Amino acid sequence: MVGRSSRVTIHDVAKAAGVSVSTVSKALNDTGRMTAETRDKIKSIATGVGFRPNALARSLLFNRSFTVGLLTNDTYGRFTLPLMSGISEALVDQGVSVFLCAIEDDPKLAKIHVDAMLDKQVDGIIATGKRIDRSLPVDLAGLPVPVVYAYSQGTEGSVILTADDAQGAQLAISRLRSTGRRRLVHITGPESFASALERANAFQRTVGPDAKVLFGEWTEAWGHQSIAALFDAEGERPDGIFCGNDQIARGVVDALRERGLRVPEDVAVVGFDNWEIVAAQTRPALTTIDMNLKELGRIAGLTILDLAEGRPVAPGLRKLPCSLVVRQSCGSSDQGN
């Protein structure tokens, strides 16, 4: 039997308990004063009839909707999903729900979604994208609600959360070195990506100013091409490769294997992103850098809540640490040369 049982209001509880609505409200919210007996009786009746307060009514009263919006243009969800998961996790105990709006780089659509969220009185908006040096196609400055940018470019004076690319790169390099690798190369995406540049700079700062960096595409194919270039050429060959993302790393690992080189024995490889579906299916599975996007999401959620509740938050760019995920492509750190 499908049927929408209609909702029970505080009025119904009052009638059932033989008291007034105000008494019920006070009883359930543990406010006002009354005999413990009355309070308990009302509480048990309320649960008995299955009363749940209408959040809309409370929102109207408190001017707080216990709702935040997540705006994204990342269609693959590679960044959005872990972020979303972290946000949700941080906010669910506070009774806050998340509106997800996928706007696909369409300014008009973005505006429609933002307006809809504002109309619904969201307590704040978290903006996220697929790269940290591009902003969403909509201006979020001057909105009547707080905004937090997570893995996206933000406006002057706003709160921006991102992963610490340089630190992530260090992590990868340390790992390669601790397994005894000395001839390191960095294969990464286009130079036009701030995160590619950031990692590459960290790489050269750490390994040396003329450490080799190959900029290209974020694809497996680029991984293959790079290996061809590196190993067909004369001269010194790398024994450790730090890749700008897991797809490149996969291409690199496959290309090395096809050349009869063993990973990690002959060449160790570290990826970036910890994109499960790529990293875990690569043979050998990729040791890689995780940007901890879920944690980033958690912090974004808590931050937007702070802002919404009027607590002070320092504006500016905040970089959160990456961590190393050890699988097989980089050997074990106690392994000599």
Partner DNA sequence: TTGAAAGCGATACCAA
Partner DNA sequence: TTGGTATCGCTTTCAA
Task: Pick the stretch among 30-38, 75-83, 145-153, 266-274 that binds DNA (CB under 7 A).
Answer: 30-38
The verdict on 314 binding its own copies (CB under 8 A) reads no
Residue 131: closest CA among 37, 226, 244, 33: 244
| Least spacing, CB of residue 312 vs its own copies, in Å | 12
- Give, for 222, the enclosing helix (H) or strand (E): helix 220-232
The verdict on 60 binding DNA (CB under 7 A) reads yes
**In the stretch 148-177, what mask flags binding to its own copies with x, by CB under 8 A?**
---------xx-------------------
Nearest-angstrom CA–CA distance, 32 and 26: 6
Say if residues 81 and 98 touch (Cβ distance below 8 Å).
no
The entry of its own copies, DNA, none near residue 22 (CB within 5 to 8 angstroms by kind) is DNA
Instruction: Name every residue whose Cβ is closer than 8 Å to that of residue 72 and which is 6 or more positions away in sequence.
Output: 79, 80, 100, 101, 102, 103, 127, 128, 129, 136
Kindly report the length of the chain. Answer: 337
| Least spacing, CB of residue 160 vs its own copies, in Å | 13
Q: Count CA atoms closer than 13 A to 175's CA, side-chain side.
A: 29
Q: Which of 20, 97, 332, 335 binds its own copies (CB under 8 A)?
A: 97
Q: Which of 120, 237, 259, 262 binds its own copies (CB under 8 A)?
A: 120
Distances (CA, A) of 257 to 184, 213, 253, 263, 267: 18, 21, 6, 7, 10
The verdict on 61 binding DNA (CB under 7 A) reads yes
Q: What token pair was written down for 55? A: 């959040």
SS3 category, 335? coil
The verdict on 128 binding DNA (CB under 7 A) reads no
| Least spacing, CB of residue 309 vs its own copies, in Å | 12
The verdict on 48 binding DNA (CB under 7 A) reads no
Is 158 or 328 the residue whose CB approaches its own copies more closely?
158
The entry of DNA, its own copies, none near residue 228 (CB within 5 to 8 angstroms by kind) is none
Distances (CA, A) of 71 to 199, 268, 335, 336: 26, 38, 45, 48
Query: In sequence order, what E strands does 89-152 have?
Result: 97-102, 124-128, 147-150
Site residues (vs its own copies, CB under 8 A): 1-7, 52-57, 59-60, 65-67, 70, 75-77, 80-81, 84-85, 88, 92, 95, 97-102, 109, 112-113, 115-121, 141-146, 157-158, 219-221, 247, 254, 276-278, 281, 283, 315
Site residues (vs DNA, CB under 7 A): 7, 9-11, 18-23, 25-26, 28-29, 31-35, 38, 51-54, 57-58, 60-61, 63
